[in-house]
Amino acid sequence: MRADAKKNYDHLLAVARAVVKEQGADASLRDIARRADVGLGTLYRHFPTREALLEALLRTSLDEMTAQAAELETSSAPDDALVTWLREAVAFTRNYHGITALMMAALDDPKSALHASCVTVRAAGTRLLSRAQAAGKARSDVDGTELFALIAALAWLGDQPSLGRHADHLFEIVASAILTNRASNGGRAQRRPRDRS
């Protein structure tokens, strides 16, 4: 890659990250090119598709998620590892509104630029799930695809502005549906009561 091209690429990516964090995954590509002081065609040259751009944006974070899963697998108890990772996954999406639908679609489309990263992340989650299942700590009838889907659903709920206050509680509810035999010892403070509105 020529030096000027590399410079454009990097700058474009930095601007795109800011714009996507601010406006979401369906931000205007024109606007990104404009803010980067770059011709619209240059953006398309470096990132022939919106998914290619997002893949470049998310690759690092997704790789981190995969690495963290591997780490949790050896450092934490099966149930703690799973729930911690789930929380992390949902939190990650809060930086990029509207990204979960794209990731769901990418999982099913091998031609998508996001496909490989998503498959890898799903596999990482599946390992944590299997481990928890083997320890009798997670429902045995859930598979990795469904785990991914539930994460995506929680992320989608997090995108709804009116649900800010409920996000944590909704996470607990769904997590409790996957996990079993959680906190059968101790536990009264586990589920805090909430004011009905």
Binding site for DNA (CB under 7 A): 1-2, 4-5, 8, 26-31, 37-42, 44-46, 48-50
Per DSSP, helices labelled H in the chain are 3-23, 29-35, 40-46, 50-75, 78-93, 99-108, 115-134, 144-159, 167-178
Residue of 104, 116, 119, 135 interacting with a second copy (CB under 8 A): 104
Compare residues 94 and 139 and give the one whose CB is closer to a second copy. 139
Residue of 42, 50, 143, 182 interacting with a second copy (CB under 8 A): 143
Compare residues 53 and 89 and give the one whose CB is closer to DNA. 53
Distance, in Å, from the CA atom of 19 to the CA atom of 15, rounded to the nearest integer, reads 6
Compare residues 135 and 149 and give the one whose CB is closer to a second copy. 149
Q: Which entry of DNA, a second copy, none binds 192, CB below 5 to 8 A by partner kind?
A: a second copy
Q: Which entry of DNA, a second copy, none binds 143, CB below 5 to 8 A by partner kind?
A: a second copy
List 179's β-bridge partners, or say none: 138
Q: Would you say 50 and 20 are in contact if contact means Cβ atoms under 8 Å apart?
A: no
Please count the residues of the chain. 197
Q: How far is the CB of 114 from a second copy (least distance, A)?
A: 13
Q: Would you say 154 and 177 are in contact if contact means Cβ atoms under 8 Å apart?
A: no
For a second copy, the binding residues (CB under 8 A) are 101, 104-105, 107-108, 139-146, 149-150, 152-154, 156-157, 160-163, 166, 169-170, 173-174, 176-178, 191-194, 196-197
